[in-house]
Amino acid sequence: MNTPGDHMPGVSVSPSSSKSPMPRFGVLGSGKGSNFRALTEAFQVGTLCAQPVIVLSDVEHAGILDLGRELELPSRFVSPGPFRTKMSPAAEAEIVRLLREAKVDFVVLAGFMRVIKELLLQAFPRRILNIHPSLLPAFRGLEAWRQAVEAGVPEAGCTVHLVDFGVDTGRILGQSRVPLLYGDTAESLYARIQIAEHELYPRIVREFAEKLGTPEN
Ligand code: GRF
């Protein structure tokens, strides 16, 4: 079994460019993990400038955990407790413990479907990133792509932002625009938004990692 803090064997291909230590990040997700896959692919080709070192999920059989194990990363289910939309304080404390044990510098939410609360926010202030499938501040919350189709807007997109105490409210770090096409359904639009996410998230994570430790960060 993988244990956090183990040597990070690698997302098996090593980045070629630099030998200096890279910032380390932990990933939290509840779903299939396609954004996590895009991040690891960027890491493998040496364009991410940050190293994924642990994957945690509130969903026991989430695809993102399978992907983490495939990549030989410590990959753990953390039982979320009795609430539907947030983790119990005990579950958040366990996540903080695992992230600290893995010595992460920052945290990347990749389809994590629960609201982050005090314990985690205070453990990693201004160090938690999220990707949301809309052009924030438009369409916060669930199924933002469906909200966009139902609202009849001409364009949708995705946003990477810092996580704060609100839901999808933190400082925006980057966005990609995705025009609606004639005949789009919620599903067809979301498929194109996900393609945009897979380009946007690695780019913004790289920029964030490059700025870590500078005065404004
Ligand atoms: C993405 O669409 C992201 O915007 C949202 O959750 C979804 C996760 O998808 N926060 P995946 O698991 O990365 O495929």
pLDDT tens figures, 75-84:
999 999 999 9
Mean pLDDT of 89-114: 98
Q: CB-based contacts of 176: which residues, under 8 Å, 6+ apart?
A: 157, 158, 196, 197, 199, 200
The per-residue DSSP string of the chain comes to ---TTS----SSSPPSS--SPPPEEEEE-SS--HHHHHHHHHHHTT-S-SEEEEEEESSTT-HHHHHHHHTT--EEE----S-SSB--HHHHHHHHHHHHHTT-SEEEESS--SB--HHHHHHSTT-EEEEESSSTTSS-SS-HHHHHHHHT-SEEEEEEEE--SSSS-SPEEEEEEEE--TT--HHHHHHHHHHHHHHHHHHHHHHHHHHTTSTT-
Closest to 200 in 3D by CA, of 135, 105, 126, 139: 135
Query: Tens of pLDDT along 150-170?
Result: 999 999 999 999 999 988 899
- Which of 149-153, 177-181, 211-215 is predicted with the least confidence, judged by mean pLDDT? 211-215
Nearest CA to ligand 1 atom 2: 133
Mean pLDDT on 185-202: 98
Amino acid 11: pLDDT: 52
Whether residue 161 lies in the annotated active site: no
**Confidence grade of residue 206 (pLDDT, cut at 50, 70, 90):** very high
Q: Confirm or reject: Cβ of 156 under 6 Å from ligand 1.
A: no
Q: Whose CA is nearest to atom 12 of ligand 1?
A: 33
Q: For atom 9 of ligand 1, which residue has the closest CA?
A: 111
Q: How confident is the model at residue 214 (pLDDT cuts 50, 70, 90)?
A: confident
CB of 52 sitting under 6 A from ligand 1: no
CB of 127 shorter than 6 A to ligand 1:
no
Mean pLDDT of the chain: 91
CA 59/CA 73 separation, integer angstroms: 17
Tell me the CA–centroid distance for residue 111 and ligand 1, in Å: 4
Testing ligand 1's pocket by substitution, the residue of 161, 197, 200 carrying the most ligand atoms inside 8 A of its CB is 197
Q: What is the pLDDT of residues 17-62, one digit of tens each?
A: 445 689 999 999 999 999 999 999 999 999 999 999 999 999 999 9
Ligand 1 pocket mutation pick from 34, 112, 136, 198 by most atoms within 8 angstroms of CB: 34
Span 112-120, average pLDDT: 96
Catalytic residue among 7, 132, 161, 198: 132
